[in-house]
Structure 1
Amino acid sequence: MKIRPIGDRILIKFKEREEVTKSGIVLPDTVKEKPQIAEVIEVGPGGIVDGEKVEMVVKKGDKVIVSKYAGTEIKIDGEEYTIIRQDDVLAIIED
């Protein structure tokens, strides 16, 4: 299934959460922090949002840092994704 975001929305996939600390302690799901680094899977076309023209800065394949509580989580074919607005992207990670 292919998801195509609309407007200034972006489909992202967060990096896997660490389940074991460096010292070997296994973390239960209840204490894991939500990751903030994600890969951009698909990007909407931009357009007019709230009366202003929005040009998309991020592109498919970018690694980004996003706001901690941003977006709507969805599950497709057993994979977890999040749809966010471009405003929720704090930075693009460049190698």
Structure 2
Amino acid sequence: MLKQKNRIHPLYENLRRKTMVALVEIKHSPLHGKGVFATQNIAKGEIIVESHMATIHVNENLPEVLATLQFPWTDEYDAICLSDAGSFF
């Protein structure tokens, strides 16, 4: 995979690099008994993902089958999602 500095695919520009656990909490809801509530503001258009991922240093050579699943995460690390796309919210 071609390695470049500061390469973020447009799809991931709004991806929050925090765990979703820090963004929501489960509390009592007067409507349905329990509910999921934001613990901080979430901007319109912000993409939030909760997924199991493995990070790989950008200089790491991966087998072709894994390299096709790799995407930019930071300047120093790429990531491979270890779960399905159903984890996107």
Say which structure is richer in helix: 2
TM-score normalised according to structure 1 size: 0.26
Say which structure is richer in strand: 1
